[in-house]
Amino acid sequence: MPAIFLGHGNPMNAIERNSCTKAWSDLATTLPTPRMILAISAHWYVAGSRVTASPRPPTIHDFGGFPRALFKVQYPAPGSPELAERVRELLAPTRVEPDAGWGLDHGTWVVLVHMFPNANVP
């Protein structure tokens, strides 16, 4: 599978249909369905390096000032503690802490609601 950079743009893209969201949907039809997705987010500000290790990461609405409809969006994709552990192994000797408290922030789900709307890819 390719490594792809997809910037989410305006968080409203989660609930709007436009050229960006159509491109994300179209892109997903050209790729094989991945077994898992590793998303790197700039929206998780913590000391050190962390990886989400929850089997059911919550949808995080880490923004303000948007319409209520955006805050109602849920993206209940399963997590993968196994992938989190593999990430830790691959980045060693850099210390990467597993974190079961964080979830999927808008940097991830704004794009994925269009690419994989069934939220069935860990």
pLDDT at residue number 93: 97
In a domain, 3, yes or no: no
Strands (E), the chain: 49-52, 96-99
In a domain, 89, yes or no: yes
Write the DSSP string, 57-75: PPBP----SS-HHHHT---
Structural domain range at position 75:
11-115
In a domain, 2, yes or no: no
* CATH number of the domain residue 92 falls in: 3.40.830.10
pLDDT digits (tens, 9 = 90+) for 31-42: 999 999 998 888
Which among 101, 42, 109 has a CA at the least distance from the CA of 77? 109
Structure-model confidence comparison of residues 45 and 79, the more confident one: 79
pLDDT digits (tens, 9 = 90+) for 67-112: 999 999 999 999 999 999 999 999 999 999 999 988 999 999 999 9
**Per the confidence metrics, is the pTM higher than 0.85?**
yes
